[in-house]
Amino acid sequence: MASVLVTGGAGFIGTHLCNHLHNKGYHVISLDIQQSDDNPWEVVVADVRDYLQIDGIDSIVHLAAQVSVAQSMEDPDYTLSVNVDGTSSVLAAAESSGVKRVLFASSAAVYGDADEMPITEKSPLIPQSPYAVSKIVGEELCRQSPIETCALRFFNVYGPGQSSSGGYSAVIPAFKKAIAAGMPPTVFGDGTQIRDFIHVSDLVRTIEIALSSKVIPEEVNLASGESTSLIDLLKALEKHHPDMANPLFEDERAGDIHTSIADVTLMNEVFSPGEMITLEEGIN
Ligand code: UD2
């Protein structure tokens, strides 16, 4: 079975991906700056920006990154360093060791606030944050590599194991944590902002298909294609937590996108991931 290196393998998506690929019989190597829990796959603790020596790897899924849009507004240098230099270093290692395919975790953030919804891969790129810039540069580095690469433009990924700690938590774990503590969930802005949420198990299943797919586009949206406003999200959570506190509205976050909905035609054509978990099923 093929060997796959997963950078960021100890993170939220990385742990799900390593587990999925391991269960499917892949030889999995996780590379992460953080030590992970005891897992049945191989683990390398390293910074992606370091000189990486890799041997006998067929494919790489490059997930390691600074993932918070808000953090990138506060510390652009760190985001650019990890996300750009890290991608450059991973590609250099891949090129010198005969890796056949690199799948790069890009993001819906590259589109910014697009004029037309849903967003296709041909939509213009309008970065609104250093995070978005870092992903655009990462994609470009991939395009310039002689290796076969694909930029997987993740929309909003959620699911079990997603961190709810710190000030940069993604919206679903942040809301759930507040509700569990009997506190009001904090909404940045008026809650009308729209996201396209994809469950992590659907995402990792699709990534596995992309590893072996004969046809591989240069870039592709990975999303559910369903739009949900933060107000809708709160209503869905309220069904299961009827006593939850009313949300607290705070100022909109700098760099925030208002509306993000994917056109998933290309994803369905090339990868056929099948039916996806609905948000109502996935959040509880
Ligand atoms: C997510 C990803 C990012 C990128 C992008 C693609 C995370 C942490 N970031 O950024 O890597 O792939 O999607 O679209 O998953 N919000 C609140 N209250 C909170 C937390 C967030 O109102 O407690 C708002 C936030 O201002 C934004 C929306 O919820 O309008 C989603 O925020 P997010 O941090 O979950 O994700 P996003 O879209 O900034």
Q: What percent of the chain has pLDDT over 90?
A: 93
Q: Is 171 in the pocket of ligand 1 (CB under 6 A)?
A: yes
Q: Is 174 in the pocket of ligand 1 (CB under 6 A)?
A: yes
Q: Which atom of ligand 1 is nearest to the CA of 196?
A: 14
Q: Which atom of ligand 1 is nearest to the CA of 193?
A: 30
Q: How far is the CA of 93 from the centre of ligand 1 (A)?
A: 31
Q: How far is the CA of 41 from the centre of ligand 1 (A)?
A: 30
Q: Is 154 in the pocket of ligand 1 (CB under 6 A)?
A: yes
Walk me through the domains of the chain, giving residue ranges and CATH numbers. 3-158+197-224+263-277 (3.40.50.720)
CB-based contacts of 107: which residues, under 8 Å, 6+ apart?
A: 131, 132, 135, 153, 154
- Tens digits of residue pLDDT in 229-255: 999 999 999 999 999 999 999 999 988
Among the listed residues 105, 88, 102, the one whose alpha carbon sits nearest the alpha carbon of residue 57: 102
What pLDDT does 166 receive? 80
Q: Is 253 helix (H, G, I), strand (E, B) or coil?
A: coil
Among the listed residues 63, 52, 44, the one whose alpha carbon sits nearest the alpha carbon of residue 102: 63
Q: How far is the CA of 171 from the centre of ligand 1 (A)?
A: 6
pLDDT, mean over the chain: 96
What's the pLDDT band for 177 if we cut at 50, 70, 90? very high
What pLDDT does 144 receive? 98
What's the pLDDT band for 36 if we cut at 50, 70, 90? confident
Q: How many residues does the chain have?
A: 284
CA atoms within 13 A on the CB side of 50: 11
- Tens digits of residue pLDDT in 117-156: 999 999 999 999 999 999 999 999 999 999 999 999 999 9
Catalytic annotation, residues: 131
What pLDDT does 1 receive? 85
Of all protein residues, whose CA lies closest to atom 20 belonging to ligand 1?
171
Q: How far is the CA of 140 from the centre of ligand 1 (A)?
A: 24
Q: Is 187 in the pocket of ligand 1 (CB under 6 A)?
A: yes
Q: Is 135 in the pocket of ligand 1 (CB under 6 A)?
A: no
Q: Is 177 in the pocket of ligand 1 (CB under 6 A)?
A: no
What pLDDT does 167 receive? 80
In the predicted model, is pLDDT for residue 97 greater than 90? yes
Among the listed residues 168, 158, 185, the one whose alpha carbon sits nearest the alpha carbon of residue 255: 168
Q: How many other CB atoms are there within 10 angstroms of residue 90's CB atom?
A: 27
Positive or negative: CA dihedral 115, 192, 282, 27: positive
Q: Which atom of ligand 1 is nearest to the CA of 107?
A: 12
* Cα–Cα distance, 159 to 80 (Å, whole number): 26
